[in-house]
Structure 1
Amino acid sequence: MSKSICKPFTSKLIIKTNDTDSKTASLLSSSPPNLYKDIVELVLLCTIDEDAPISSSKIYLAELSTLYAEKWDKNRVDQALFERQRIPNPRNELIVSTAKNALISDDIITETRCLYYLSGCYQRLLQQRDYFKSILSDIQKLFIDHSKTAITLPSMYPDQQLSKQWIDLLIESQNNSLLLEYIDRVNNELVTSMTDEIEVFYKYVFHYMYKVIQPLDYFNSKLSFYISILSNLSQWPILVQIMFRQSHPKTLSDRATINSTISVASGRAFQDTLIGSLLSKSCLPSLPGNPYIFFNQPNSMSEHAIQTTSETVWQLMKTYQDTLTQLFKMFIKNADARSDVLQWIGDCFDENHEKSKKWSSNDPLAAVIFVSDGFLINLTVILLNLAKPFAEPYSPKLLKIDPRYAICQNASVHLTNLYKETPLIKRHKETTDEKCSQATFNFITEIFFMSHFSYSCSVRGLYRKLLKIHGDISKKQTEYKNAVSLEESDSQTTKDLEAQIQNDHTTFLNIKSVLNEPYLMELSNSLLTSTCSWLVHLASSSSDSSSASNGAEQMSILKMLPLTSKPNPQLSYIPEFIIENIIDFFKYISQFNVRFFQSNESSINEYMYFMLVFMGDINRLANAHLRATLAEALDTIIPDQQDNDEELNRAFPAVVFEECPLIEHLPRVILDVFVSIELTEQAVAFQQKFNCRHPMYNILQYLWKFDKHRLQMKKLATYAERHIEDAEAPLFLRFINLLMNDANFLLDEGLIYMKKLRTHQDMKDSDQWNNMPEMQRQELENTFKSNGQYARYSNIMGIKTLIILNMITQYIQFIFCHPTICERLAAMLNYVLQHLVGPKRRDLKVRGINEYLFDPTKFVTKVTDIYLNFSRYDQFCVAVSNDGMSYNDQLFPQAIEVLQRIKYPPERIAEFQKLSERVKTINAEQKQADDAYDDAPDEYLDPITSILMSDPVMLPSSHKILDRTTIARHLLSDQTDPFNRNPLRMQDVIPQTEFKKLMYLSFIRDLARWIKRFFKVFGITHRSSSAMNRGLALSSTMKNCIRLAGLSGALAICLGAYGSHAMKENTSDELRRLFQLAQTYHLLHSAALLAVPFVSRPHITTPLFLGGLTLFCGPIYYHAIRSDTQFRRITPYGGMLLIAGWLSIAVL
């Protein structure tokens, strides 16, 4: 027909149309042939009877008008459906009803869109399912088959956008269950025989969805519609596979738009896809320069307003991320599609792996070439949710994690570049190849490593940005205050600074609110605490299973430290960024959300176990800087280290440092990491070294408040005392050596830079400055500014080091009196004191001294305190007096004068006065003693210190001979030969026994000659041997000698018994050794007195022996029993008398 056929309705038909009950009764009584014909009229909305009365408009099918009603069957309906879809313009074939209240609109009846028409037919069929019950399934299949045909043979409908129709139907199906059923039936049919045409069809569907989703903002309700559509489609794995293939940048030609500024190979390309567009919706801007949504006027916002806005951000994030999580759970639900999803995520991370590096947080280019922060935060939350079933400390599921995933490169690994990451300990390639040849990995393993990598790229990256912005705000606020003080408050400079501060504050609050989102915090904490328990389990196990646990292995809480077993080789598989994730989360919580730990108290134990295991164990975490960063993280919970509630600041750290299990090992761990920073193989940059040690000073200073930690430090010092002569220096000995190294260097640097500042200021005050060219003056100003920064830094660290040194020496002194340490400590204190109180102190006076944090009063006070900590130790006093570089008789009087001026406590000044006099006396005596060695040959002098050697050793590579004490002190901080820099350990040095004998023989001969000359002065000459052959008759004098020998021996036995009782509670091996030494010499010389009657001059030998025993053994007995060294200074004189007694036998 070429025109519409308009037939008026008869009154009879109108009555039938309006009589619903009679119409229904007529339908229910229809025979099967009539049912098929009714399908045509009621479902297809067509008619074959041009003159029949109708209740609504119909499309006239002229080709089928000659068929009788009784000949209608399924095939006829199929033919009718085919003919209906072939009509190019259905309106030309429309028989229009004149009914006022038509049941179906003409637009629906004349529908030209193929899939829309078929879906409408399907829905009308289901609406009358009871009537068509007997033929329902056949007709349903008919519509589904025609829909499949249209999709698989799109050439049949060249002018129709079938994919556009399909996406519109998908949208409408969200509120239409019948339409949704139709779509599901069609999809079921499509996926049973997937063809290229079907894949192309769905690619266009997803392409169109991407075009619509891409411009939508974070708040658009349409997003939920499209996510619901994708969620429904995800029940067919093949469609999920197509979806993720379509969302891969490799299919660039199928994407709607290509940003010309973005390389195809850049990680940003993943955001320009269907899945990427969903992930990129966030309250954070996707490109630099785009505005933030919230906190636009932070300066005018109250704390309540900020909190309310943050809660709004959290609600939006939680709602949207929950929706995305459910979508991805649908994606991975089927194993057939799971690999495609993981592959897409893995490829995305591989292309964006630089996003995890520090530089990307501050480089604007990174925001252009990588996916946005919002994209990664959303993906991180999804992965954390997927990890939630096993993210619980000590969960048995954690044992299913296979560490080999991080080193393998086979097809079962979707994070293909993970093996390039730095491992915790050194990895052997041959082991890697062997372990990975046939390895396959479970879902838990994949999600574990993907979650950590995503966290590293997203949360850690934002945390670094937050810290930088926080620093920028502080710096600009200082500049603003300076500008206001120098200029008008409404000047352009101040206005610009104020605007910049507000913009930075907006950025800061937006990022902080995202990172503080409660659910993100909870998920992160769950993953990271479970990771702590898993890593501690690996570290405490020495086994290296080839795959994840088979169920026999169990996780348990750590019971003992330190770990003594061999390190687990699996630690060489674990990348360092996992450790960094834990560290940065702990630091962030401590700095910006400390109350989170208060509500998650059980979590802190897992972090502390982890720190105690890895911070102090180089065999389980090789990177010394990373172990120092663990200390930095721990420092963040020390009071006054963050801007939080003061009461909470005091309570929380006390709980951590007193009540956490195994916390008593923390002092040892801190000392270990402190020392490891200095070791050659783990050495870090110079200033970085001191930056690492600063938080350790804070921790040590805080630990010192607790008795249990001071006791642990005392135990470490006691162990060092017992093993001070070991080839491998004890930990505490190495620590105090480095502590003094730092003090010596930092104090020296601070003094040098203060002198440079003074020189520069003097130059500026002179006429020479005005005569300089402008460029030269500018260069000098830059140098002055740089020197000022160095001076400030050195002064801060210098006084901090003195505080720690004073703190320790108040409680522990003896080990500092060992020759290896004592001389250096004394020299350092003398050097600093000389510059602070001597004539050179004038060079340290600069303008604006407070700007450089140089407080001479505080320096002098701390140095004096350290002096007084050792005032009762002779060894220290001797070392102070022996320092020829800085000590002189005027040093201490000058210091007393300064101490009086700065109001140092009078009783402490009196103590220092006594120390001054004592050192002065010792210095005078030492000068006399040194005269005996003035003529010592050069080969007997240490080549480094030029002091007479007492225990010469040879270095194996340079063959240099020097004193054992000298090389031991050197190796504490530098394990190389000082003459050729070859590696050297203390156990490698070669004792020079014969050389030592030659030295002693030389000294004995010199001493014998001196004694012979001494006796000759008094007329005593050498007695001939014939005189020795006189009878053995004993004079009364000789008998008295024998009696004295008996009394001396008895006294030795009595002192031995008393000492054994008195020293029962004494645990010092050094004091026990001294007591045994005194006993040995006492008994030996008591026995020697028995032979005195037979010597040529018993009246000379006897008093020499008795005087020597009194002056040598007496002070040693007193020192060992009373732990008091006040009489030890006369010990050398007793030794000289004993030597003279033996020589009197030989030469008289």
Structure 2
Amino acid sequence: MSTIKFDQRLYQENLILKKVLQVTIFHPQDPNDPLSKLSQSSDYTYLVSANRELQKFPGIKTLLEKKTLFDSIFSEILSQPKRYGLVYLKDCYCSNLAEKDKAVNKDFGELLEFILEMTINYTSILTLNPDMFPEILPANNSYDGIELSAFRFVHMFEQNGYSIGFMSELNKQLRAMDEDSFNQVYENIFGQIRYKFQKELTVFDVKAYDLLDSMSAILNQSDEIKELFINLKYQGAVWIPGPGGINLTKGIGSCTGDMLESQSVLGPFFSISFLPCTLNLKGDERFMKVIEKAEIELKQAKNQNQYNKIANNLQDMHKKYIQSLNNLFKTLLKGKNVREQVMRFLAACVVSNTPRAKLGHSLVSNSMKSSLNQISSDSFCITAQYLMFELCVPFLDLSKDLWKKVDPTYLPSGQRIDLTDETPICANKQFKQALKFPKEYGTISEFYFMELEMIHFGLMHSVRKYLDIRKMIERLQTEKKAISHDQSMVQKYDNELSILKPFRIAYELVLTDNNLAKQVEKFYQLHMRLMKEWGRFDEKKVKLSEDPGIFCHLPENFMQDMIDVISEIIKVNIQGYKAFNIETILDATEFCLALLRTEAEVITNPYIKAKALELIAIFHQADQKKELIQQMGRSQIVTNALMETVIKFYVDIEFAGSSMFYTKFQYRHDCSTIFQRFWTQDLFRQKVREMVGSPIFERFLNSLINDMTFCLEEGLVKLKKIKEHENRVEREGESKLTKEDHDNHKQNKQICRANFQLAGECIWNAKQLSDWCKKIFDNEAFAERIAQTLNFVLKSIVGPDGSQTTIKNPEKVAFKPMALLQDLAVIYSNLSEIDHFCKAVVRDDRSFSTDNFNQALRRLKINRASENLTEFEKFVQLIPKYTQQEAELEEILGNDAPEEFLCLLTYKLMKDPVRLPTSGNICDRSTMQRILLNDEHDPFNRSPLKFDQLIEEHELRARIENWIRQKLAGEETDEDKRLKSLQENQPMASPDKKLDEEMKMEVDDDYSSAFFDDNQIMQLRGGANNSQNDVDMFSQNTLSNFMARGDRFGKDYQE
């Protein structure tokens, strides 16, 4: 121990060394040091060699007089074992700055400045000569030279983050000493960080955030460092890889998604998420570790709220990572010389993954496809989509004008992303016009369209894959339950379920994230605004312009993806529709209405309109508490346009082609979902009433009756087949039935269930309309149609053959006979005030029976049905009255009506005859109304024909009414008198001049020429070789053909 007493200032400077360098050059028990008691000896290291060196200069007043002492100090401290040299020097630098700011040290500024300089000098020496001093890292000798220094820097960034001041000063020093070595250091730093993201780090590692933040800070130092990063070629990595590992300096078309993910400089930074980095069912090792850790945390939840909270915490980890990645990209985009390369990389994320849209999403089939080797993983794509959204955030605020800078011609220009082969919104080439493109586009346009396409190629594929995983799990669980007696098969199913489980957890964590829902909501609010702007939305008509304009150049997924994404998030998010704000739901509903009402020439794919309607239905299907319906009245557009739009869609889907025959029922199911919600509100009921009498509403009612009839008949047919199968099982046993028998039985049950579900919706609709809109049934054609359908169903349930519909567990096929019977009774009761309907009920030769109504009434009383039972009983009591009236009328009128008074299609007495303008034939108006509602063609010659083109036959109608009046009065009719006159060759005055002319005409009129060839016309004229019997027989055959045609047209729904 030294006994030399130094100047008081040296002891004060030693205190500075303790605080800044954590060292002392005086012995801790030095009696001459008056400040030794101010700090614990464990807080610093006593430097023996430095103390000996100091003893050589007993007369110095300050350490700065012998600056070589600092070489001894730094050399000795860096030579200490178990020392992280770079971390130590960085900490010294930070401590130095802290001490300089203290007023108590104002007299030691020069010393602190010199120590700061020495700290940077020795850091530079340690960087360029990593073997000069002993280090803990690395534990093995896998690194040496500059690579070893880079390794130590990366470790420092992981443990302590990035000190901007320290690294800035070091960079200046390194560059001044050896610029080539400086570049090599940072190339290796970037390369080793990239390797860690590629092989080691996961979303659970805080190090991942720290390293990204460190990289952002490094790159923010200068444009030269940014260029160094862009041009990195560490272990074969390049900026945008092409075939053979070359760097694509121009085009990006030959870069595949898997190459971009594994070989590009930035690719590994997109692998941090909860999703797998492989596309098959095996999963990579890092993914399995992440999911195991996530599952452990989720299992700690004791209830749903705790589970949601834990899941939110996990999701926030990924959000934090995305924010760090976003900062990295924003830093790169600030570099004037590298911005273009960064934009090329973002574009490559989209272009290289376009095959994902056509790949499909089935895990099982995808795991067998070689095309998986050409696309990026779901982890890469979801991270890219999140990142691109963050880049869009600055212009998503609709209250500002930045969003108006989005140029719709960006994508059609093909300047960076060429998707011109995609099907456009408007595929009518006659509307397509050449566009003028600017020389360059701003980043706002680029980011907007890149995010749109990344959602299309990335997010949508992941969402559908998740739904496929859920279906697979549900199917396996169902099948496992069915074979629970076979332990070997149970084990097999358990293995398959265990493979799927990690994938389910992973996709749920990502896709149920409320952060994702909010991102989608904010982005698509802008998207809807732009679509309206570009489509010149007419608020009064609630439709886009008839001139498609830019829509001839934009891909149709611009419309469809928004609908699909919102729909799927509602399905997978635990909050359902509440994942979105009510204003967003109203905006989306209005936008969907605009799509539905826009002309087919503008939006050529009818599927887009069908999906728009489906989204409106999904909003309300997810609203179990029926809270959303109250908010819809806030929108004037929804109030005025919803009912008309949905009713028109219900009709229009009928004519979408034969291939859509069964598909239309799915979309009409969506219509019924909307009806069931909105028809409970007086405001929307009134909108329906206002449509009564319009052609579109008549066609709607016709379609509704058609659907109800078809679904009920199909359901009953399958019900009988199910009954036959059950009877056969009872007779022969299960073992006697083949696999084909079981498969057919299963299919019959599925079809039966679907038909009865749809039929139930149609009946509910009809029941509602018969209650508060019964005026629409006060029409002979509709009264007859609905009466025939109701009678048929009633007969099937309570008639003599009703036992054929009695099966085991009918509720499993959605067949609820008592509920159906109650609904029928309500409709009968509601329409009992309409005379047309009551007469049509008893006039139905096919299904009407008084016994059916009496039997139905008995069953309802036994089951104590309360709804409209009294009114139904009154209706049943009226049936004998109408039956008697019809019988008396038929007896009076008889079957001897003049042939010209009969409808050519039904061969029934006409009440309102009309002439068909093209064929010239005359039919009853009600018959033609029923036919033209289904098919707007003349049934005789197939010429186009509208209902309003029918020509009224006033004179013929007057003759028919006069004939009926005379028959009811028991008088001899004018037609009988004229017939007698002709037979007695005594001409009498015709009822009108026109009839006289017709009587003089030959038989070859339009009627004959439409149905007979020339030889047959000669027969009718009484040719020489034809007897009267031949003519009569031919006429009878012709009338039989007419009657057959009448049957076919009357039962069009059976075809």
1:674 to 647, 650, 654: 650
Mapping of residues 842-881 of structure 1, within 5 Å: 842-881=803-842
Give, as a single letter, the amino acid of the residue that structure 2 aligns with 1:448. Y
Q: CA deviation at 1:679?
A: 2.3
Does the C-alpha gap of structure 1 residues 1003 and 494 become closer, same or farther in structure 2, counting only changes over 3 Å?
same
1:606 to 574, 578, 587: 587
Give, as a single letter, the amino acid of the residue that structure 2 aligns with 1:986. K
For residues 689 and 847 of structure 1, what CA distance do their matches in structure 2 show?
30
Give, as a single letter, the amino acid of the residue that structure 1 aligns with 2:663. Q
Mapping of residues 497-516 of structure 1, within 5 Å: 507-516=503-512
For residues 977 and 334 of structure 1, what CA distance do their matches in structure 2 show?
72
For residues 913 and 175 of structure 2, what CA distance do their matches in structure 1 show?
91
Does the C-alpha gap of structure 1 residues 405 and 265 become closer, same or farther in structure 2, counting only changes over 3 Å?
closer
Instruction: Give the aligned partner of residue 258 of structure 2.
Output: 268
For residues 187 and 935 of structure 2, what CA distance do their matches in structure 1 show?
66
Give, as a single letter, the amino acid of the residue that structure 2 aligns with 1:233. L
Contact 1:755 1:844 in 2 (8 A): yes
Does the C-alpha gap of structure 1 residues 634 and 990 become closer, same or farther in structure 2, counting only changes over 3 Å?
closer
Give, as a single letter, the amino acid of the residue that structure 2 aligns with 1:387. C
Q: Deviations over 1:64-94 (max 9, x none)?
A: xxxxxxxxxxxxxxxxxxxxxxxxxxxxxxx
Instruction: Give the aligned partner of residue 943 of structure 1.
Output: 905
Quick check: which has more Rg, 1 or 2? 1
**Is residue 655 of structure 1 aligned with residue 641 of structure 2?**
no
Instruction: Give the aligned partner of residue 607 of structure 2.
Output: 625
Mapping of residues 29-44 of structure 1, within 5 Å: none
**Is residue 780 of structure 1 aligned with residue 741 of structure 2?**
yes
Q: CA deviation at 1:1000?
A: 7.3
Does the C-alpha gap of structure 1 residues 346 and 1012 become closer, same or farther in structure 2, counting only changes over 3 Å?
closer
Contact 1:247 1:276 in 2 (8 A): no
Q: CA deviation at 1:278?
A: 0.4
1:864 match: secondary structure: helix
Q: CA deviation at 1:700?
A: 0.9
For residues 505 and 704 of structure 2, what CA distance do their matches in structure 1 show?
41
Give, as a single letter, the amino acid of the residue that structure 2 aligns with 1:676. D
Give, as a single letter, the amino acid of the residue that structure 2 aligns with 1:213. F
Instruction: Give the aligned partner of residue 77 of structure 1.
Output: none
Does the C-alpha gap of structure 1 residues 315 and 892 become closer, same or farther in structure 2, counting only changes over 3 Å?
closer
Q: Deviations over 1:228-278 (max 9, x none)?
A: 4542236425346435992323165379xxxxxxx9964222210331100
Contact 1:743 1:802 in 2 (8 A): yes
For residues 166 and 300 of structure 1, what CA distance do their matches in structure 2 show?
40
Give, as a single letter, the amino acid of the residue that structure 1 aligns with 2:245. S
**Is residue 823 of structure 1 aligned with residue 784 of structure 2?**
yes
For residues 834 and 990 of structure 1, what CA distance do their matches in structure 2 show?
38
Give, as a single letter, the amino acid of the residue that structure 1 aligns with 2:946. M
For residues 480 and 509 of structure 1, what CA distance do their matches in structure 2 show?
21
**Is residue 372 of structure 1 aligned with residue 377 of structure 2?**
yes
For residues 248 and 507 of structure 1, what CA distance do their matches in structure 2 show?
30
**Is residue 806 of structure 1 aligned with residue 767 of structure 2?**
yes
Give, as a single letter, the amino acid of the residue that structure 2 aligns with 1:267. G
Q: Deviations over 1:13-62 (max 9, x none)?
A: 875678775673477xxxxxxxxxxxxxx8xxxxxxxxxxxx799xxxxx
For residues 810 and 502 of structure 1, what CA distance do their matches in structure 2 show?
54
Instruction: Give the aligned partner of residue 527 of structure 1.
Output: 523
Q: CA deviation at 1:215?
A: 0.4
Instruction: Give the aligned partner of residue 673 of structure 2.
Output: 698
For residues 1016 and 279 of structure 1, what CA distance do their matches in structure 2 show?
95
2:628 match: secondary structure: helix
1:286 to 277, 299, 303: 277
Q: Choose 510-519 or 323-332, whichever is displaced more.
A: 510-519
Size of the aligned set, in residue pairs, is 855
For residues 979 and 208 of structure 1, what CA distance do their matches in structure 2 show?
82
Q: Deviations over 1:177-212 (max 9, x none)?
A: 444444368789999xxx9x9999987775555334
**Is residue 452 of structure 1 aligned with residue 492 of structure 2?**
no
2:328 match: secondary structure: helix
Contact 2:171 2:182 in 1 (8 A): no
For residues 607 and 707 of structure 1, what CA distance do their matches in structure 2 show?
23
Contact 2:424 2:551 in 1 (8 A): yes
Give, as a single letter, the amino acid of the residue that structure 1 aligns with 2:395. F
Give unpaired runs (5+ residues) of structure 2. 1-48, 101-107, 129-142, 248-252, 988-1055
2:832 match: secondary structure: coil
Percent identity between matched residues is: 19
Instruction: Give the aligned partner of residue 217 of structure 1.
Output: 201
**Is residue 986 of structure 1 aligned with residue 959 of structure 2?**
no
Q: CA deviation at 1:310?
A: 0.7
Q: CA deviation at 1:441?
A: 2.8
Instruction: Give the aligned partner of residue 549 of structure 2.
Output: 569
Q: CA deviation at 1:497?
A: 5.0
Instruction: Give the aligned partner of residue 227 of structure 1.
Output: 212
Give, as a single letter, the amino acid of the residue that structure 1 aligns with 2:331. M
2:848 match: secondary structure: coil
Q: Deviations over 1:284-323 (max 9, x none)?
A: 2222322224453677852255234313312311221110
For residues 319 and 192 of structure 2, what CA distance do their matches in structure 1 show?
27
Contact 2:784 2:840 in 1 (8 A): yes
Contact 2:154 2:193 in 1 (8 A): no
Give, as a single letter, the amino acid of the residue that structure 1 aligns with 2:706. N
Give, as a single letter, the amino acid of the residue that structure 1 aligns with 2:870. E
Give, as a single letter, the amino acid of the residue that structure 1 aligns with 2:518. E
1:941 match: secondary structure: coil
For residues 653 and 10 of structure 1, what CA distance do their matches in structure 2 show?
79
Give, as a single letter, the amino acid of the residue that structure 1 aligns with 2:308. Q
For residues 430 and 20 of structure 1, what CA distance do their matches in structure 2 show?
93
For residues 818 and 1013 of structure 1, what CA distance do their matches in structure 2 show?
29
1:685 to 660, 663, 679: 660
Does the C-alpha gap of structure 1 residues 767 and 1010 become closer, same or farther in structure 2, counting only changes over 3 Å?
same
**Is residue 795 of structure 1 aligned with residue 756 of structure 2?**
yes
For residues 746 and 254 of structure 1, what CA distance do their matches in structure 2 show?
62
For residues 14 and 185 of structure 1, what CA distance do their matches in structure 2 show?
29
Instruction: Give the aligned partner of residue 399 of structure 1.
Output: 404
Give, as a single letter, the amino acid of the residue that structure 2 aligns with 1:289. K
Mapping of residues 1002-1017 of structure 1, within 5 Å: 1010-1011=972-973
2:725 to 760, 764, 775: 760
Does the C-alpha gap of structure 1 residues 12 and 779 become closer, same or farther in structure 2, counting only changes over 3 Å?
closer
Does the C-alpha gap of structure 1 residues 526 and 786 become closer, same or farther in structure 2, counting only changes over 3 Å?
same
Mapping of residues 453-602 of structure 1, within 5 Å: 453-479=453-479, 482=482, 487=485, 491=487, 493-494=489-490, 507-541=503-537, 560-563=540-543, 566=546, 568-588=548-568, 590-591=570-571, 592-594=573-575, 597=578, 600-602=581-583
Does the C-alpha gap of structure 1 residues 562 and 911 become closer, same or farther in structure 2, counting only changes over 3 Å?
farther
Instruction: Give the aligned partner of residue 746 of structure 1.
Output: 711
For residues 937 and 205 of structure 1, what CA distance do their matches in structure 2 show?
99
For residues 659 and 176 of structure 2, what CA distance do their matches in structure 1 show?
63
Q: CA deviation at 1:965?
A: 4.5
Does the C-alpha gap of structure 1 residues 733 and 567 become closer, same or farther in structure 2, counting only changes over 3 Å?
farther
Q: CA deviation at 1:866?
A: 1.6
Give, as a single letter, the amino acid of the residue that structure 1 aligns with 2:461. G
Q: CA deviation at 1:870?
A: 1.5
1:972 match: secondary structure: helix
Q: Deviations over 1:482-537 (max 9, x none)?
A: 555xx49xx45556656766765654443233233343332222112222233334
TM-score, normalising length: structure 2: 0.70
Instruction: Give the aligned partner of residue 323 of structure 1.
Output: 324
Give, as a single letter, the amino acid of the residue that structure 1 aligns with 2:383. N
TM-score, normalising length: structure 1: 0.65
For residues 265 and 50 of structure 2, what CA distance do their matches in structure 1 show?
56
Q: CA deviation at 1:357?
A: 5.3
Does the C-alpha gap of structure 1 residues 22 and 529 become closer, same or farther in structure 2, counting only changes over 3 Å?
closer
Instruction: Give the aligned partner of residue 355 of structure 1.
Output: 356
